[in-house]
Amino acid sequence: MNTSIVVIPTYNEVESIGTLLGALKALPVDILVVDDGSPDGTAEICKEFGVEVISRSGKLGLGSAYRTGFALALARDYHSIIQMDADGSHQVSDLARMMEWIGTSELLIGSRWVADGGIENWSKFREYLSRGANAYANLLLSLGIKDVTSGFRIYDVGLLRRVEISTINSEGYCFQIEMTRRALARGGSVGEIPITFIERAHGVSKMSFAIAFEAILRITSWGFLRLIGR
């Protein structure tokens, strides 16, 4: 068994997941896929690669998938737990570089918005949306993290245990914000490593109005609680 495991949530990623898994096989990591009942055969492709798959009954959400995958990984003897997207937007070459920094911080975030980080094939609207979400979260919560919404991360298992993953409630990309907020509150050290985020070439984005609204509502609520000292 390797000392690191990659947890990958999937839903209808049959066109992208094989390329990602093939590239990950070159790294010293175990792989766990949490599939939300993809009707396109994503789970079957993963099993063909010899990857462990948790097959769930339906589309239960990103946060729920990570809670499930992290809980299983924490029950085993890993030192680091990695999270990344299945759609090809996160590069395995960037992960290899991030892994060189394991041990320097308890949470390593693959960041688009630090020096030498970047994006490819995004519209200006998508860029402004991401930058705006990060700015809003930092304004209200004073996190001090440039890319708090990034889903490309490496957690030290000690920090994940202190975070108490079962009590994290967010489901969309707000899950990343809540995890960062909790990690800092529990004394976690955070480092940002530059990555290049490449817009998916296949499939459909899971972003929706409901996901964006959840983030706005939760950030505003946490900001209010912070303002009144709770």
- Measure the CA–CA gap between 12 and 87, rounded to whole angstroms: 9
Mean pLDDT of 183-188: 97
SS (H, E, C) 164-215: CHHHCCCCCCHHHHHHHHHHHHCCCCEEEEECEEECCCCCCCCCCHHHHHHH
- For residue 172, what pLDDT band results from cuts at 50, 70 and 90? confident
Residue 149: which CATH number?
3.90.550.10
Percent of the chain with pLDDT over 70: 95
Whether residue 64 contacts residue 172, with contact meaning beta carbons closer than 8 Å, is answered with no
User: What pLDDT, on the 0 to 100 scale, is given for residue 173?
Assistant: 83
**Of 218, 153, 145, 210, nearest in space to 184 by CA:** 145
User: What pLDDT, on the 0 to 100 scale, is given for residue 220?
Assistant: 94
Q: Is this structure's pTM higher than 0.85?
A: yes
- pLDDT tens track for 80-122: 999 999 999 999 999 999 999 999 999 999 999 999 999 999 8
User: What pLDDT, on the 0 to 100 scale, is given for residue 210?
Assistant: 72
Whether residue 109 contacts residue 153, with contact meaning beta carbons closer than 8 Å, is answered with yes
pLDDT over 60 at 201, yes or no = yes
User: What pLDDT, on the 0 to 100 scale, is given for residue 174?
Assistant: 92
- pLDDT tens track for 33-60: 999 999 999 999 999 999 999 999 988 8
- Measure the CA–CA gap between 192 and 16, rounded to whole angstroms: 26
Which domain covers residue 64, as residue numbers?
4-227
The structural domain count of the chain equals 1
Sign of the dihedral through C-alpha 76, 25, 154, 152: negative
